[in-house]
Amino acid sequence: MLLQSGTWNRPRTLSSEYDLPEPARRILTPYLVDFQMMMVELGALEESDLKGTEAGRLALAM
């Protein structure tokens, strides 16, 4: 889970952050960790709309 305050201006995939020359990227891609971040804009939600435990809702509301 990524908690971000403000505008997210980075790519949403980890693999796009690897600074590799193309020949190295082709060779190493099967061995590199990759995932795609799912972003949820919490600013648009009311605190009462947040799901989960009280501690979890408190952390998200901060």
What pLDDT, on the 0 to 100 scale, is given for residue 23? 95
Q: How confident is the model at residue 22 (pLDDT cuts 50, 70, 90)?
A: very high
Residue 35 has pLDDT above 70, yes or no: yes
CA separation for the pair 45, 61 (Å, rounded): 9
Distance CA 58, CA 26 (A): 44
Mean pLDDT of 31-50: 79
The predicted pLDDT at position 3 comes to: 67
Phi, psi angle pair for 13, to nearest 5°: -115, 140
CA angle 16, 14, 12 (to 5 degrees): 80
Average pLDDT estimate for 34-59: 77
Q: How far is CA 18 from the centre of its chain?
A: 16
Tokens linked to 10: 């980075």
- Mean pLDDT for the stretch of residues 27-35: 91
